[in-house]
């Protein structure tokens, strides 16, 4: 049974407009590494919003681990928490994600929300800051960081929740070469650790280095 299953999804931002997703179906097995390709405006980010329960299709079904993900389900706080704990989402634009006063608080927000014991939360914050070499930025306001720094803080904050699925929207865009190499290695480690990865990207080298299964979003549907 696939971990993620979309059946005949139709989604429009408004009733007057042509739907962005038009009968889209796809399935993703647990532990798979999928690269989602597609032109600018094809609907990759829109699809990721649906997968994360931030938008809901007008028709079609979305099953996550055999449970249909609906607006009604995610209105229940316990169900929503369980779902979001399993699925981490790195937004294409990290500005949308960052709202804490310092980098340390930003990365610690998730572990604290999970109610982890203080020592474990601290260890996770430390580990995730180290992964991205963010120690020197720990007391800075995320708001004042550079674009590439923000992206790394947002990524660290996602990993601090230790989700089993990672949905990454252009994770390497705009990063310098050293950071890019570091993140490529990290993504390979996450893949080897059995995480399910879905990555929207225009980056051929990224797809190759992860040996990702490539899906293309075109005309509102997935083409293999
Ligand atoms: N909030 C919104 N309201 C109305 N239309 C939107 C909204 N967000 C996206 N769209 C439209 O939906 C379509 C798909 O956009 P989306 O952001 O999903 O594309 P994308 O494949 O992620 O593109 P890119 O490669 O540029 O990131 C575009 O035509 C866009 O104009
Ligand atoms: Mg996008």
Q: Is the Cβ atom of 180 under 6 angstroms away from ligand 1?
A: no
Summarised one tens digit per residue, pLDDT across range 177-211 is: 999 999 999 999 999 999 999 999 999 999 999 99
- Residue 57 CA to residue 21 CA, distance in Å, equals 9
* Closest ligand 1 atom to Cα of 13: 4
**For the chain, what is the HEC assignment?**
CCCEEEEEEEECCCCCCCCCEEEEEEEECCCCEEEEECCCCCCHHHHHHHHCCCCCCCEEEEEECCEECCHHHHHCHHHHHHHHHHEEEECCCHHHCCCCCCHHHHHHHHHHHCCCCHHHHHHHHHHHHHHCCCHHHCCCCHHHCCHHHHHHHHHHHHHCCCCCEEEEECCCCCCCHHHHHHHHHHHHHHHHCCCEEEEECCCHHHHHHHCCEEEEEECCEEEC
Residue 68: φ, ψ to 5°: -75, 125
- Residue 151 CA to residue 138 CA, distance in Å, equals 14
Ligand 1, from 36, 44, 172: best to mutate by most atoms within 8 Å of Cβ? Answer: 44
Average pLDDT over residues 38-57: 98
The CA distances from residue 53 to 62, 165, 209, in Å, are 9, 14, 29
Is the pLDDT confidence value at 224 over 80? no
Distance 48 CA to ligand 2 centre (A): 9
Output the pLDDT for position 113.
86
Q: pTM of the predicted model, to two decimals?
A: 0.96
CATH of domain 4-97+164-223: 3.40.50.300
Domain definitions of the chain by residue range: 4-97+164-223
Is the pLDDT confidence value at 57 over 80? yes
Distance 12 CA to ligand 2 centre (A): 15
Is the pLDDT confidence value at 213 over 90? yes
Average pLDDT over residues 92-113: 93
């Amino acid at each position: 049974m696939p971990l993620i299953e979309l059946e005949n999804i139709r989604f429009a931002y408004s009733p007057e407009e042509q739907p962005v997703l038009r009968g889209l179906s796809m399935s993703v097995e647990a532990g798979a590494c999928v690269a989602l390709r597609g032109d600018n405006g094809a609907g990759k980010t829109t699809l990721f919003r649906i997968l994360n329960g931030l938008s809901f299709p007008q028709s079609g079904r979305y099953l996550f681990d055999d449970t249909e993900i609906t607006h009604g389900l995610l209105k229940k706080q316990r169900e929503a928490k369980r779902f979001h704990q399993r699925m981490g989402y790195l937004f294409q634009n990290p500005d949308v994600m960052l709202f804490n006063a310092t980098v340390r608080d930003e990365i610690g927000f998730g572990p604290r929300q999970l109610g982890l014991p203080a020592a474990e939360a601290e260890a996770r914050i430390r580990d995730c800051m180290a992964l991205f070499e963010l120690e020197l930025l720990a007391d800075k306001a995320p708001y004042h960081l550079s674009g590439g720094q923000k992206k790394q803080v947002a990524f660290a904050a996602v990993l601090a929740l230790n989700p089993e699925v990672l949905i990454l929207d252009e994770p390497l865009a705009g990063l310098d070469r050293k950071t890019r190499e570091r993140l490529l290695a990290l993504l390979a480690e996450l893949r080897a650790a059995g995480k399910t990865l879905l990555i929207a990207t225009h980056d051929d080298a990224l797809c190759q280095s992860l040996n990702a299964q490539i899906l293309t979003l075109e005309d509102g549907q997935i083409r293999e």
